[in-house]
Amino acid sequence: MVFNSIAFLIFLPIVLLGFYTLPQKVRWIWLLISGCVFYGWWKWEYLGLLLLSSTIDYFVSNSIAATNNPVVKKRWLWLSIGCNLGILIIFKYLGAFIMSFPNINHHLFTHPNFGALTQFLNAALPVGISFYTFQTMSYTIDVYRGRTAPAKHFGKFLLFVSYFPQLVAGPIERYNALNPQLTKKVNFHYQNFQAGFRFLIWGFFIKMVIADNLAGWVDTIYLNPYRWHPLVGIFGMVCFSLQIYADFHGYTLIAKGVAKFFGVHLMDNFNRPYLAKSVNEFWKRWHISLTTWFKDYLYIPLGGNKTNNIAWVFNILIVFFISGVWHGARYTFIIWGAIHGLFYLIEHRFNKHRGYKPQLKWAGQCLTFALVTLAWVFFRAPNLKIATGVFSTAFGLGDGSDFLTIPWHLGVLVIFFFIVDHGVFKRNIETTMDTWTWEKRWLFYSFIIFCLINFSGATAHPFIYFRF
Amino acid sequence: MIKKIIIRLLFLLLIVVASILVYNKFIWPIDRYMHADLLDALDKNRDSAAIIYIGESSNFWNAKEEHDKRSISEMIAENLEFPLLTLNKSAYHLGIYKPLFKHINKRKNVKHVVLTINLRTFGPPCVHGEFETSLQKDALFLSNQVPIVKKLKAVFNMYDNQSADDRNKVLWQHWTKDTLNLNGTTLKFVNVKNWCAVDKFMDSNNIEDMPKRVLADHYIKAFGFNLNAKNERVKDLDAIVALAEKQHYQLYLLIMSENIHWADSLAGKDLGNLIRTNRDYLVKRYQSSNHVQIIDNLETVKSAYFGEKDWTTEHYYWQGRKQIADSVSQVIKRNVVINKQQ
């Protein structure tokens, strides 16, 4: 089930009604069932995968806690990591890897046994597999490190993994942060609904009005990048930067809003990333739950910056490489990750010698936005040919001259979004809107609802991060 | 508390109602232009057109080197003395045009409607193709529902919005399960999958001519099917014919030329005969209707006049376009004369 669907708009009130009318002690069962319906709505068969991943981590974590032998603990940990990564490799990467060989698609078509299997593996990427796998892995590693006690109740652990607002695209929550909130007693609070509504309405606006309209333009430009005038090429690159932010941030806000209805606070995933003054800072503001995951469970275990220079460079590159691979089985993602790694290293080298100059704040922001935007081309392009096409068009190396017609009102809305999101709301919608008068709030609500009805994109594009 | 919530909900409702009114009055024309341009064209030529030509890329395709770049419909318009409205868009098919016909019914001056039919559109790769979801969205905007309903259905993907993977699975089923018959006899290779699996174009060293083989397989996939009443496009065509009969305009089903000669050379005579059999099915099914006339051009255009040999298209050089245009013009002229005499 996706947030921007009629099914979800019916599902949510039913779940809320059930949640607040049922006794406290059975609410977790209701939420667990809701999570299964939410996930199974897409393909119920993959609930088995969710169950498998959860079962492994539940038993492994308890086995880790049950022994004092560090060698045995480590073996259990590697078993969990192996199983989780194995699931990821089989369901996320294997099909795409096989299909990436030239002509293999055609030959497999004619092969009675492998054709259907490969097509199945290629087509059946379970939604949000990277998110919930990383979430369960972080739990097991935390148990291994002694930072959290193992879950004693399998059903409640399953709820932690399948909690529907953040199940398919994060934020990737830690067990210590989410689990206590899921099991605590929650009373109906008007303030929770007010805050949830604010997250929800702004989230839907930036997804359906901004991201979905931008998606239409970006898709058109990337379909045949060679035909466009250089300005359109640059426009397409900037549009995708805004689209992916609006799409993912919109999802996160909706997830936060829905969780708020149930009295649960999810972590922030974004902090005005396009105001970052450096690539280093960008990664502290973008997809924060994944960045901190990589920092805590990959970068620091590799030695972090407490190693020699060569090892540190290696650590940085490996983190960005894996970050690229995490997004999917496409070499363009790896290039995207590698580019960020290189930018990060160059920037570090530059800053070390020149130092940070506050008067260059705007220049830093513009340069960072430009670099991030350039890297996004590889993220968006399905292959190197398209990425090359976008670059050659944007830098005036192509011979295309077509222009794109953009309705002016949609252009204005995109600018409105960026100013309000980065300049007015800053990091916290809740507290910002609390300072507004009721007239200002209702004017804002009216405008957003008006835009949702009148200017939503004509196609509900799936959330980009669902496929990860 | 309850009162506070109810007042807020009522206010929200008021905003929603006002927004809907604004959409129907002011925003729909913009959306119609952007997402249903054929409907926009139809509305703007509300009472001027006597003939409507509905086609796809076969109408306007031309080769770069051609001097005569006129489309088929432009040639028809020059041959006839009536105002002609062209409604065409690449990849559009009968299922997308079906909702458009409901709007044509409202136009009193329309006397003749030419509907191009290429046989590929009846085949599984087109019915379950990767562009179908996008086309279905266009069909939604072309439908005669209330504008805000169309918009909200599109926004929430409430139309035939299957993923490409789901469509691919159905396609795969057709290729593996549908038995191919010719004159009541099952073909040697039984189905498309087996037919494609056969080695083709092997040289003396047992090395395959891969480009040719892939093209042959593509032809087999595109034309390897038997038409029957359960076919989605046949159902669409039934509905279109029913609308024509109801509104009493003359509907011309223009069967476009296919490169049968090329298909035969790539995949064998059976494929050409399958194409002919499917044509015969359509002729037989619709020839009895008073308001339908079939213009059968399946084998009118010579192989040499097909502009693209590396794909299965109905794209012709000007000679081919002219042949098609002349055949249509003649039939319409004849009908006009008969109508005048009556």
The DSSP bridge partners found for residue B251 are B113, B292
Q: Name the closest residue on chain B to residue A189, using Cα atoms.
A: B1
pLDDT at B16: 92
Q: Are residues A270 and A369 in the same domain?
A: yes
Q: What pLDDT, on a 0 to 100 scale, did the predictor assign at position A120?
A: 62
- Are A98 and A242 members of one domain? no
Mean pLDDT computed over A107-133: 67
Do A20 and A67 fall within a single domain?
Answer: yes
Residues A260 and A127 in one domain: no
Q: Does residue B110 contact residue B249 with C-beta atoms inside 8 Å? A: yes
Comparing A255 with A348, the larger pLDDT belongs to A255
Query: What is the model's pLDDT at position A357?
Result: 62
Residue A393 · residue A400 · CB < 8 Å: yes
For residue A346, being part of any structural domain is answered with: no
Inter-chain CB proximity A442 and B11 less than 8 Å = yes
Whether A454 and chain B come into contact, CB under 8 Å, resolves to yes
The pLDDT tens digits for A303-316 are: 888 888 889 999 99
Question: Tell me, what's the ipTM?
Answer: 0.77
- Among the partner residues B11, B20, B165, nearest to A123 by beta-carbon distance: B165
- Which of the two residues, A177 and A127, has the higher pLDDT score? A177
Q: Is A364 a residue whose pLDDT tops 60?
A: yes
Q: Which of the 8 DSSP states describes residue A401?
A: -
Distances (CA, A) of B212 to A109, B281, B310: 17, 30, 9
A238 shares a domain with A132:
no
A116 contacts in chain B (CB < 8 Å) = 172
Give the nearest chain B residue to A43 (CA atoms). B166
Of A163, A188, A213, the residue that ends a domain is A188
Which B residues 150-209 touch A at CB under 8 Å?
151-152, 154-158, 165, 168-169, 172, 193, 196-197
Kindly tell me the sign of the dihedral angle through the C-alpha atoms of B229, B281, B258, B69.
negative
pTM of the model: 0.84
- Strand segments, DSSP code E, in B222-317 are 250-255, 292-296
> Average pLDDT of B149-164?
90
* Catalytic residue check, A422: no
Beta pairing class for B185-186 and B181-182: antiparallel
∠ CA B328-B333-B336, rounded to 5°: 130
What is the 3 state secondary structure string of A32-96?
A: HHHHHHHHHHHHHHHHHHHHHHHHHHHHHHHHHHHCCCHHHHHHHHHHHHHHHHHHHHHHHHHHH
Query: Residue A1 domain-assigned?
Result: no
Q: What is the dihedral of CA A208, A210, A214, A215, to 10 degrees?
A: -30
Instruction: Determine whether the interchain pair A453/B214 forms a contact, defined as Cβ–Cβ distance below 8 Å.
Output: no
Same domain, A163 and A222: no
In a domain, A285, yes or no: no
pLDDT tens per residue, range B27-63: 999 899 888 989 888 888 767 788 899 998 999 999 8
Chain A residues with CB under 8 Å of B155 CB are 4, 208, 456-458, 460
The 3-state DSSP class for residue B290 equals coil
Pick from A407, A453, A455: CB nearest B20: A453
Strands across the sheet with B51-55, in order?
Answer: B84-88, B51-55, B112-117, B250-255, B292-296
Find the Cα–Cα–Cα–Cα dihedral A263, A269, A272, A277, rounded to 10°: 150
Both A24 and A138 in a single domain?
Answer: yes
| pLDDT tens readout for residues B260-318 | 999 998 888 999 999 999 999 999 999 888 889 999 999 999 989 998 878 888 899 99
pLDDT at B209: 81
Q: What average pLDDT does chain B have?
A: 89
State which residue of chain A sits closest to B221, comparing Cα positions: A109
* Contact by Cβ (8 Å): A169, A248: yes
Residue A293 lies in a domain: no
Cis peptide before A171 (omega within 30 of 0): yes
Q: Shortest Cα distance from B199 to chain A (angstroms)?
A: 10
pLDDT score of B107 more than 70: no
The Cα–Cα gap between B221 and A391 comes to: 36
The pair of structure tokens assigned to A357 is 């100059």
Q: What is the pLDDT of residue B106?
A: 60
Segments forming the whole domain that contains residue A77: 6-188
| Spatial distance between the Cα atoms of A212 and B113, rounded to a whole number of angstroms | 37
Q: Distance between CA atoms of A324 and A329, rounded to whole angstroms?
A: 9
Quickly count: other Cβ atoms within 10 Å of residue A10's Cβ: 11
The residue among A123, A156, A188 that closes a domain is A188
A409-461 pLDDT, tens digit per residue, is: 888 999 999 999 888 887 678 888 888 898 899 899 999 999 999 999 888 88
Answer whether residue A100 shows pLDDT above 70.
no
Measured CA to CA in angstroms, residue B83 lies from A51, B49, B107, B110, B178 at distances of 66, 5, 14, 10, 45
Give the residues across from B87 on adjacent strands.
B54
The per-residue pLDDT for range A252-278, each reduced to its tens digit, is 999 999 999 999 999 999 999 999 999
Round to whole Å and give the CA distance between A115 and A130: 26
User: Could A449 and B16 be called an inter-chain contact, meaning their C-beta atoms sit closer than 8 Å?
Assistant: yes
| Residues 202-231 of chain B whose Cβ lies under 8 A from any Cβ of chain A | 210, 214, 217
Name A228's bridge partners.
A402
DSSP character for B202? Answer: B
> Quick one: A86 and A20 in the same domain?
yes
Chain B partners within 8 Å of A458 (Cβ): 31, 34-35, 137, 141, 151, 154-155
Same domain membership, residue A203 and residue A184: no
* CB proximity list for B28: less than 8 A, separation 6 or greater: B147, B148, B151
What token pair was written down for B265? Answer: 């050379």
Whole-number Å distance between alpha carbons of A30 and B53: 58
Residue where a domain terminates, one of A128, A160, A188? A188
Residues A146 and A273 in one domain: no
Mean pLDDT across A224-243: 94
Is there a contact between A220 and A302 (Cβ–Cβ < 8 Å)?
Answer: no
Would you state the pLDDT for residue B44? 81
Residue A112 has pLDDT above 60, yes or no: no
Q: Which amino acid is at A276?
A: A
Reported confidence tier of residue B105, pLDDT bands at 50, 70, 90: low
Give a yes or no: residue A322 inside a domain: no
Asked if A408 has any chain B CB less than 8 Å from its own CB, the reply is: no
Q: How many domains does chain A have?
A: 2
Do A139 and A36 lie in one domain? The reply is yes
**pLDDT tens across A278-305, in order?**
999 999 999 999 999 999 999 999 988 8
Are residues A34 and A82 part of one domain? yes
The per-residue pLDDT for B317 is: 92
- In-domain check, residue A218: yes
The answer to the question of residue A345 being in a domain is: no
Looking at every residue in chain A, the average pLDDT score rounds to 89
Alpha helices in A381-428 (DSSP H): 384-394, 408-419
In a domain, A135, yes or no: yes
Secondary structure (DSSP) of A189-212: -HHHHHHHHHHHHHHHIIIIIIIH
CB–CB of B126/B149 below 8 Å? no
Q: How many CB atoms are closer than 10 A to CB A371? A: 18
